[in-house]
Amino acid sequence: MKQVLLIATLALITLSANAQSLSSKDNAAIDAKVDQFLKLMEKKDYTKVLDFMYPPIFEHTSKKDMFQIFEMLEQSGIELKFKNTEVLNKQGLKTIKDTKYALIKYRFELDLPLNTDELRGYAPLLVPVLQSNFGKENVTYNKSQNLINAKGEKFLMAINDPKYSDWLFLIYDSSMRTAIEKTIPAEVNNQAAALAR
């Protein structure tokens, strides 16, 4: 009897975690917005990127903090180069109070040219930080070309809230966990967390 209950419970958890399908209209709208968002990231136009963010998140984290790490690196003379951004998949999440949610997985590469002796001296510090963020196997340091390359897969949460006119985004990342928990309904966040493993 315990085994039957356990199997039934696991089946219910699996079913509740399954993604909902997105309509073709929502799919097309998300595709268009994600494409713009990722192109702005490649251009490092963080001011415009912030216009694509779901405004309630700023009640729990400042706009300044959101891209602080990138700005700090660039102020140190490290020129970040985003490239090869590509959407891998989109999954619909629960709709709550007429607000639709979706989880988007995307891939990108990041080049960090180390053009000065000072920057090359930072390599032993930068490489482990990037490895902890992207995984050891996804970070390479080419000493002869003075180039660090990181490949990553990250997640965005797309939100279509009737208060706003279009799909907007949250960077769905552990660094944003507290702000996301305060912004997104728990059942949507739990569903997204299960899919984002």
Mean pLDDT across the stretch 66-76? Answer: 71
Q: What is each CA distance from 109 to 72, 75, 182, in whole angstroms? A: 19, 20, 30
pLDDT exceeding 90 applies to what percent of the chain? 46
Residues 38 and 30: their CA atoms lie apart, in Å, by: 12
* CB proximity list for 59: less than 8 A, separation 6 or greater: 182, 183
List the beta bridge partners of residue 153.
107
Contact predicate 119/127, CB 8 Å:
no
Mean pLDDT for the stretch of residues 140-147: 93
What's the pLDDT score for residue 143?
A: 92
| Tens of pLDDT, residues 8-61 | 333 333 333 344 678 889 989 999 999 999 888 888 888 888 899 999 999 988
In this prediction, residues 120-133 reach a mean pLDDT of 87
pLDDT tens digit string along 75-99? 777 778 888 888 999 999 999 999 9
Q: State residue 186's pLDDT score.
A: 95
pLDDT at 181: 94
Closest CA to 141 of 153, 154, 128, 157: 128
- Indicate whether 2 pLDDT > 60: no
Average pLDDT taken over every residue of the chain: 84
Q: pTM for this structure?
A: 0.78
Alpha-carbon torsion, ordered 24, 27, 31, 37, to 10 deg = 150
User: Where do the domains of the chain lie, and which CATH numbers do they carry?
Assistant: 20-195 (3.10.450.100)
Q: Which residues contact 35 (CB under 8 A, 6 or more apart)?
A: 87
Task: Quote the CA–CA distance of 162 and 97 in Å, as a whole number.
Answer: 9
d(CA 192, CA 197): 9
